[in-house]
A and B are shown apart, each in its own frame.
Chain A
Amino acid sequence: MPKEIKIVEKEGIKIDSPIIIEGFPDVGLVGTIASLYLIDQLGLNEIAYIESSIFPPVMVLHKGILTEPVRIFGNENILLVTSEIAIPPNAIYDLANTIANWFKEKKAKLVISLTGIPVQDRMEIDTPMVFGVGNSEDALSILKKNKIETMEEGFIAGIYALLLKECLRRDIPAIAILAQSFLNYPDPGAAASTISSLNKILKTNVDVKSLLERADEIRVKARDLMKQTQGTMGAMRKPAETEIPLMYH
């Protein structure tokens, strides 16, 4: 049982069967960049933070206010979990377990992970393609209904892979939206592609124009988090995502 990770909610928060979006630092920081943009565009407020003795001893200052680096934002219907620090590999099993328990407690109707899938020729791609992974037939039908191409064979690795599994164990439909991305460089273009697909599923209309216009600025500012994340991706077996599985049927 996870014992070292705690979700601390702010008082007076009302949540009712939300859709939960997850964007932890990973390939190309796609999920993190998309999450921060969505928080701004959807006007989501901080509703909880996640603390743990196995996270690095780091706090963040924003406008002079001491802030936890791993936080949950949201409103009554949409919650968004993100982090401003790389999650240490030794914390991801317990983190996935803890937040999946919390999702169940909040009666989540769908969990959506936003992330990148590394492609070698990314510098030749102007608009990254998006692929979906689902944890059940119900989840796959959401992808198909929204015309998101699914990944049929392959390995997936990292916290989103564990979240798909932990949500399945708790009967929560979960999907991952993966955009073609640089592995080691912050990729706002890939983040924009995930948001365009998310718009279809949520029936929202988040305009990615200003995200793309500010892409250079984001790439400069995200370099340190990308460096931290590079240090964790090897241990999470991220290179496996480009490997071919043994297909036997």
Chain B
Amino acid sequence: MSDWIDEFFEQAFRELTSPSWDAVRKCLVPLINVEDKEDEIVVTVDLPCIESKEDIDLNVTEDKLEITAKMKEAIRWERWGTSQRHLEFQTFRRLIKLPEKVDPENSKAVFRNGILKVSLPKVRKKFAIKIQ
């Protein structure tokens, strides 16, 4: 199999098997959807318990998007699991590796009904081809 196929399946496997919380950083890992469109990468992030866009930090480089969002109140599940019941979570955090290079300066984001949508235009060098 080629490298990108390996990478695709490894990423899909990691996505399904990785826990939805991080005990070390005491944060929850949000659900995301990455859509590879013709001219842009569109990332949506499910952010329940986040009140406003001011509670969200977004950092983007050419190939990575980092999201940190602070919840209005800390969450703790007192009957959950064994060690987990002592954990308290107050942030969502996720670092997303983008499938293509993007232009960070022209990226845009909206937050509505608890969903964050980030549009990241792809870096594309275009050359006109003269038809002979």
The residues of A that contact B79 with a CB separation of less than 8 Å are 63
Q: For residue A219, which residue of chain B has the nearest CB?
A: B48
Q: A184-B33, A227-B31 are in contact. Are A220 and B75 (CB under 8 A)?
A: yes
Residue pair A223, B49 in contact (C-beta under 8 Å):
no
The residues of B that contact A182 with a CB separation of less than 8 Å are 46, 115
What's the tally of chain A residues with a CB closer than 8 Å to chain B?
A: 23
Query: In the complex, how many angstroms separate the beta carbon of A54 from the nearest chain B beta carbon?
Result: 19
The residues of B that contact A221 with a CB separation of less than 8 Å are 77
Q: For residue A126, which residue of chain B has the nearest CB?
A: B113
Q: What is the interface of chain A mostly: helix, strand, loop, or mixed?
A: helix
Residue pair A216, B112 in contact (C-beta under 8 Å):
no
Residue pair B20, A223 in contact (C-beta under 8 Å):
yes
Residue pair B46, A219 in contact (C-beta under 8 Å):
yes
The residues of B that contact A122 with a CB separation of less than 8 Å are 115
User: With A and B bound together, what is the CA distance between A183 and B32 in angstroms?
Assistant: 11
A92 at the interface (CB under 8 A from B): no
What's the tally of chain B residues with a CB closer than 8 Å to chain A?
A: 19
How many residue pairs at the A-B interface have CB separations less than 8 Å? Answer: 49
B69 at the interface (CB under 8 A from A): no
A124 at the interface (CB under 8 A from B): yes
Residue pair B31, A223 in contact (C-beta under 8 Å):
yes
Considering only residues 1-40 of chain B, those with a C-beta below 8 Å from chain A are 15-16, 20, 28, 30-31, 33
Residue pair B117, A185 in contact (C-beta under 8 Å):
no
Residue pair B115, A231 in contact (C-beta under 8 Å):
no
The residues of A that contact B77 with a CB separation of less than 8 Å are 221
Q: A215-B48, A216-B48, A220-B75 are in contact. Are A226 and B31 (CB under 8 A)?
A: yes
What 7 A-B pairs come out closest when comparing CB atoms?
Answer: A219-B48, A216-B48, A185-B46, A123-B115, A216-B49, A223-B20, A231-B16
Interface residues of B (CB under 8 A from A): 15-16, 20, 28, 30-31, 33, 44, 46, 48-49, 75, 77, 79, 112-115, 117
Given contacts A182-B115, A223-B28, 17 further A-B contacts (CB under 8 A): A123-B44, A123-B115, A124-B112, A182-B46, A184-B31, A185-B31, A185-B46, A186-B46, A215-B48, A216-B114, A219-B46, A219-B48, A220-B48, A223-B30, A227-B31, A228-B16, A231-B16
